[in-house]
Amino acid sequence: MRSRTPGWVAGLFLLLGVGLMVGMGIANLRFTQTVQDANAFLPRWEGANAWLTRGISPYDPQVSHLAQRQLYGRAADPDQGEDLALFAYPLPAMLLYAPFGAFAYPVARAAWMTLLELALPLAALLGLRLAGWRPPVLLAALSVAFSVAWAPGFRSIVAGSPAALALLFSLSALVCVERNFDPVAGVLFALAVIDPAPGGLLLISALVWAVSRRRWVIVASSLVTASLLIATSLVLLPGWPLAWLQQLAGWIGLGGSTMPSSTWPILGPGVLPEILTAGLLLACAWAWWRSWGGGVRWLAWSAVFTLALADWLTLAAVGRSSSVSLLPAILLILGTWARRAPRWGPWISGASLVLVALASWTPFLFNRSGSPVGVTAGSAVPLLAALGLLWVRWWATRGADIRDLALETGVRE
């Protein structure tokens, strides 16, 4: 029999958790009060604040002008690489940003950073579960620390990117599928689209699999949630889709979607992006086809593979990506190694986490400006992640149907 944890121990951990959150919030507030930098949160906060307090559309040019003046004290100059601070997100994303728009910017950004600092460790724990990996306590703690300490995690927190929250929604949805909480899974899949590229592709992956397994509740709840969010946003701001697409087109054009021919010497700059995008989409479709009719482990592998390719697609489209969505791929690959070699696998996995964390910071040691590392260098990471996932695919999906039978017996079919 398992011994129950004494109540005072649980209370102590709860107190420590609350204290840690308060400490992180205070540290983040000091940071936001002293640092004025271009970040992903400011345009969204400015849009939410203008919409809530003055009734101005977040896509209105004056909103981005306000954010530019807060950053530079003047209008931004895109020729100098300065951020135009566009809202650039679909209006349903306001569901997340609206509560923060009611507070002053330093307080709102500090709270947002604290939320991201909680989201990444939780995503790491969910990633370990999806990988079917129960590492020793120290290695699990290292995996959680890795989620925040490697460059994509740390930089996404400072930049205020919603990618960490989208990843948390995505992995939570997959765990809900595994536990047969289908209504909740569908809602979470729809919410993950706050990060459009990875969230949208993951939603398609989940819907394809759910149809093949006749898990109609997942399909219905995700589509109903998405429809309600879109319908509500259209009632609140009828013209937002056109305004969003206009901003998005300008953002992609300024983000470096056209690849310089010196970076890709074989194909011209006008050809390669289309070929790369088509190839990545075909690879996603192949993964969805392979998961058709498979068990939950097949869905998990297909979803993680899709997230890795979505990061590459984002890089190809705008010349930069957060790379946070690669976290579950890393954990799945290392977890598969560790399970295949119980004696030395955990040591190799732990050492690999440290090496990946250190290597992730290498491009920025030689790039003091903090600008994107480029499409060529950035493509290496999702490429290696995709190849690693293809390598471990057989072991990662092996026995999936047997495990599913234990979960699904008596539930349907």
- Percent of the chain surpassing pLDDT 90: 42
Q: What is the pLDDT of residue 410?
A: 37
Report the C-alpha gap between 162 and 185 in whole angstroms. 19
Exposure class string for 179-217: b at 16+ Cβ within 10 A, else e:
eebbebbbbbbbbbbbbbbbbebbbebbbbbbebbebeb
Q: How far is CA 339 from CA 127, 237, 356, 371, 393, in A?
A: 15, 51, 20, 39, 14
Confidence of residue 220 (pLDDT cuts 50, 70, 90): very high
Q: Tens digit of pLDDT for each residue in 95-137?
A: 889 999 989 999 999 999 999 999 999 999 999 999 888 888 8
Task: Reduce the secondary structure of 165-218 to three states and give it as a string.
Answer: HHHHHHHHHHHHHHCCCHHHHHHHHHHHHHCHHHHHHHHHHHHHHHHHCCCHHH
187/270: higher pLDDT: 187
pTM of the complete model: 0.85
Residue 236 CB: number of other CB atoms within 10 A?
13
Q: What is the pLDDT of residue 164?
A: 93
Q: Is 227 exposed, middle or buried (0-12, 13-18, 19+ CB in 10 A)?
A: exposed
Residue 15 included in any domain: no
Residue given tokens 């129960």 in the structure block: 134
H/E stretch holding 45: helix 41-54
Q: What is the pLDDT of residue 118?
A: 93
Report the C-alpha gap between 175 and 154 in whole angstroms. 25
Would the CA dihedral through 258, 261, 266, 268 be positive or negative? positive
Tally of domains within the chain = 1
H/E stretch holding 317: helix 296-318
Residue 8 included in any domain: no
Nearest residue to 301 (alpha-carbon basis) of 284, 279, 313:
284
Confidence of residue 20 (pLDDT cuts 50, 70, 90): confident
399/199: higher pLDDT: 199
Residue 60 pLDDT exceeds 50: yes
241/250: higher pLDDT: 241
Q: Which two tokens stand for residue 159?
A: 């930049």
Provide the mean pLDDT of the chain.
82
Q: What is the pLDDT of residue 254?
A: 52
Residue 9 included in any domain: no
Residue 14 included in any domain: no
Q: Is residue 71 a contact partner of residue 59, using CB atoms and an 8 Å limit?
A: no
Residue 51 included in any domain: yes
Q: How far is CA 30 from CA 72, 108, 239, 307, in A?
A: 20, 12, 38, 34
Residue 150 included in any domain: yes
Residue 386 included in any domain: yes
Tell me which residue range forms the domain holding 231: 24-360+375-408
Instruction: Give the orientation angle of helix 240-254 with respect to helix 296-318, to 10 degrees.
Output: 70
Residue 77 included in any domain: yes
Residue 403 pLDDT exceeds 50: no
Nearest residue to 44 (alpha-carbon basis) of 82, 10, 90:
90
84/106: higher pLDDT: 106
Q: Tens digit of pLDDT for each residue in 271-287?
A: 666 787 888 899 999 99
Q: Which residues contact 50 (CB under 8 A, 6 or more apart)?
A: 56, 57, 58, 60, 62, 63, 66, 101
Helical residues (DSSP H) of 102-162, grouped into ranges: 105-130, 137-149, 151-159
Confidence of residue 179 (pLDDT cuts 50, 70, 90): very high
Residue 368 pLDDT exceeds 60: no
Q: Which residues contact 145 (CB under 8 A, 6 or more apart)?
A: none
Residue 85 pLDDT exceeds 70: yes
Residue 400 pLDDT exceeds 60: no
